[in-house]
Amino acid sequence: MRRFLVIGRTGVGKSSFINSAVGAKLAKTSPFEPCTATVERIAYGTAFGDVCLIDSPGLAEGDRSLDDDYMKSVKREVKIQELDSCLYLSRLNEHRLGGDERRVLNAITSHLGPAIWAKTWLVLTFAASLPSEIRLEAARNRVEQIEGYLRGIIPAPPGFKSFQTKMLVDNVTRNWMEGGAPLAQILVSHP
Amino acid sequence: MVTEPRDGASFGEKAREYLDAFKRKLEKAQKEKFVFLVVGRTGVGKSSTVNTLVGKQVAPVGDWEPTTFEVRPYHSDAGGVRFTIFDTPGLCDSLEEAGNDEGYLALMRSEVPVFDCLWFVTRLDETRVTGDEKRGIRLVSDSFGKKVWEHAVIVFTWAGAYDSSKYPVALKKRTELIRAEIEKYTGNSIAQEIPSVAVDNKTHLTPDGREWLAELYTKVFTRMSERGLLSFLVATASRIDAPPGSGASSYAGYSSTHASASEGPRIKLNTEQAREVKRRINAAVIPSAAVTGAAIGAVFGPAGIAIGGAIGAAIGLFAWFRD
């Protein structure tokens, strides 16, 4: 069974992503307020195979010390070696890499170690909120913002080049892009 | 229809006195200025929104990221009235200089001596009140005291991210959450009075099909301090359009002759918004309104045209705001 740690700023849709992936409302979600305060493991049998998704409290919900507390609880509950991948979630429809997002990238790097990024997939949420004609361009910009920042903060070795796997998802709108694949299928079988 | 007042002085005389007093106040206001303080995360659309309201490119719209906390004053004028917009890049953003609250407070207090309206700007489609925003709200409260929130407006950008069915719930819920955060510093009564308005810098309508500029104008107007209220009125009056059926035909003739002097998009108030604006003018400018609204209209309308310029526009505006 593949194991994924789902991590990112508060409100980007981590719990909703998990529900989208397993096709059931297993993680508690809230449209306007933080609702995941502890690390939660959700193991689920999908039509494509079993998958374990580990939900984590949203970062940048409060001050830096709260981020530190949350990251310590992640480290306590999750062994990095047991993970197949880490899923870093970020909103597609943000114009710039905000200060809070940079702070989140810093916190993950310092608590989980820079090597975590080599096994991290980038998941851009709220994808359907942008019109299809600008979506890929916006996604390229967003990927470049995040990758560019990580290259700046992670000296070699290990350094950082780019994300091996990048995904666009939307947890609310269905069938928003042609040629999309079910999330569970990607999580179970993507190399 | 002009009617005779009970106490002998002709109605026309009373209204004339009234007009003179109002005109003197407007002339004084034209020499003074109004000041906005704008706070919110970088990139939410603060500058675009302010520029639309004042009708010109005052604050630069760009993709730059703050690296240090700054107070940036933008000075400009409209309708002969000077104004200043204070932007606060970094105040609601995580910067490397974390924990430097004392420095922030000192800078805010020294660089922003006085302001008439405080804007708290955030995206409507943001799903959380972020830690940075919470800190910004705390720093503003600590810098200026809880009373500043009596002159605050919550401005939600990106309203178009919602369709018309989800928009009212999002606006209500996000307003409640921002107010709840402010309430920690002001108590319930001040926080619950803070109005919110949704805007979108890609379209002039909110998802419910209403013109957001008129709503933004009305909310800012009703929250301005008395000090800056009339200056703001003089600066914007020439851009105001009358609500349909408000008896504004004489004013319409006036505004077309002076349209070239006004910059920026028209502010099309509906009847309800016009009433709110008028109520605020009445409360702030003319505490002892002895003359009926209908008569003010009869006298002020033509007088406004005769006076001309930005002050005439403000008087004409007042004329068609009659009940």
Which element (helix H / strand E) includes A66?
Answer: helix A64-77
Closest Cα in chain A, distance from residue B117 (Å) = 26
Residue linked to tokens 């193991």: A43
Please write the tens of the pLDDT for every residue from B255-291: 434 444 457 899 999 989 988 998 888 776 665 444 4
Tokens of A175: 């069938």
| Nearest-by-CA chain B residue for A128 | B161
Of B65, B98, B126, the CB nearest to A11: B126
**The pLDDT of residue A131 is above 50:** yes
Chain B residue with CA closest to A33: the answer is B128
CB B22 within 8 A of CB B230: no
Per residue in A60-76, pLDDT (tens digit) is 999 999 999 999 999 99
Of chain A, the end-to-end C-alpha distance in Å amounts to 14
Residue A154 at interface with chain B, using a CB cutoff of 8 Å: no
User: Which residues between 54 and 73 in chain A have a beta carbon less than 8 angstroms from any beta carbon of chain B?
Assistant: 58, 60-64, 66
A12 token code pair = 């980007």
**CA distances from residue B44 to A93, A97, A148, B197 in whole angstroms, order as listed:** 11, 12, 22, 14
Which pLDDT does position B304 carry in this prediction? 52
* Phi/psi at B60 (5° precision): -70, 140
Whole-number Å distance between alpha carbons of B251 and B255: 6
B41, B42, B128: best to mutate for the A interface, most A CBs within 10 A: B128
**What is the predicted pLDDT for the residue at B249?**
39
Chain A residues with CB under 8 Å of B127 CB are: 10-13, 31-32
Match 């996604």 to its residue by tokens: A139
Q: Is A13 on the interface with B (CB under 8 A)?
A: yes
Rounded Cα distance between A30 and A12, Å, is: 11
Relative to beta strand A40-46, strand A49-55 is antiparallel
Which chain B residues are within 8 Å of A12, Cβ to Cβ?
Answer: 127
Classify A24 as helix, strand or coil.
coil
Flag if B132 and A58 touch (Cβ within 8 Å).
no
Average pLDDT, integer, range B28-50: 93
Across chain B, mean pLDDT equals 84
Contact at CB, B42 and A96, closer than 8 angstroms: yes
Query: Across the interface, do A99 and B125 touch by the CB < 8 Å criterion?
Result: no
- Give the residue on B whose Cα is nearest the Cα of A131: B161
Asked if B151 contacts B117 with a C-beta cutoff of 8 angstroms, the reply is: yes
Which pLDDT value is given to residue A62? 93
Cβ separation A32–B173 shorter than 8 A: yes
The amino acid at A20: S
Tell if the CB–CB gap between B132 and A100 is shorter than 8 Å.
Answer: yes
Whether residue B133 lies within 8 A of chain A, CB to CB, comes out as no
pLDDT at residue B91 tops 80 = yes
| Strand B152-157, strand B117-123: pairing | parallel
Q: Are A74 and A56 in contact (CB under 8 A)?
A: yes
Cα torsion for A123, A129, A133, A139, to the nearest 10°?
-20
Angle at B205 between CA B201 and CA B210, to 5 degrees: 145
Q: How far apart are CA B281 and CA B21, in angstroms?
A: 13
CB contact under 8 A, B131 and A100: yes
B302 CB contacts (<8 Å, ≥6 apart)? B250
pLDDT reported for residue B285: 65
Question: CB-based burial of residue B108 (10 Å sphere; 0-12 exposed, 13-18 middle, 19+ buried)?
Answer: buried
pLDDT of amino acid B259: 41
Give the pLDDT of residue B255. 41
Residue A144 makes CB contacts below 8 A (sequence gap 6+) with none
The nearest alpha carbon in chain A to B45 belongs to: A95
The pTM of this model reads 0.89
Paired with A6 in beta bridges are A87
Q: Which residue has the higher pLDDT, A118 or B12?
A: A118
Phi/psi-derived region of residue B199, left when phi > 0, alpha when psi is between -120 and 50, beta in every other case:
beta
**According to the model, what pLDDT value does residue B260 have?**
41
- Report how far residue A152's alpha carbon sits from residue B23's, in angstroms, rounded to the nearest whole number: 60
Residue range B166-213, pLDDT digits in tens: 999 999 999 999 999 999 999 999 999 999 999 999 999 999 999 999
Q: CB distance from A190 to chain B under 8 Å?
A: no
